Amino acid sequence: MAVLKQEREVSPVSLVFAPPPPPVHVKKCEGALREAGVDSSFELRFVDGRVVRYLEMRELNVLIRNSHKPCTMAFVQSKDKQFYGVLQKQEQQRRKQQQTNQAATASAGLALAAAIVVNMT
């Protein structure tokens, strides 16, 4: 970086770096990836150990097609969605517990009603 800074001061030509393309997010996930827990909160980072952050979709497509199969892909959860999966699982567990409690309450109510009917006869 120091050399670039010196060259920039000497040369009238300035270097302008283009921003990287947006990360490749998972849109739909089926099969083994879904079973591994990959969902839309993840993005692709590596294909066979190569960083794909600075590749455009066209280049990424070529890389995946030309890689030896089976290829290794590494996914990471997006920073803005890190805790989304945890919250979603907690909500599912809460709903399941609530349904279990409601079913238990209904069963207890039916048992009480049956006991009252038996005692009355």
pLDDT tens figures, 8-67:
777 777 777 888 888 888 888 888 888 888 888 888 899 998 999 888 889 999 999 999
Q: Express each pLDDT in 55-108 by its tens digit.
A: 888 999 999 999 988 888 898 887 766 666 666 777 888 888 888 888 778 777
Structural tokens at position 42:
């993840």
Give the class (CATH, top level) of 19-81. Answer: mainly beta
Structural tokens at position 87:
């919250």
Residue with tokens 């399941």: 96
Cβ distance 42 to 75 under 8 Å? yes
Q: How is the chain split into domains, by residue range?
A: 19-81, 83-121
d(CA 10, CA 6): 6
Q: Which helix (H) or strand (E) is 94 found in, with range?
A: helix 84-120
Please state whether the predicted TM-score (pTM) of the whole model is above 0.85.
Answer: no
Residue with tokens 């050399």: 3
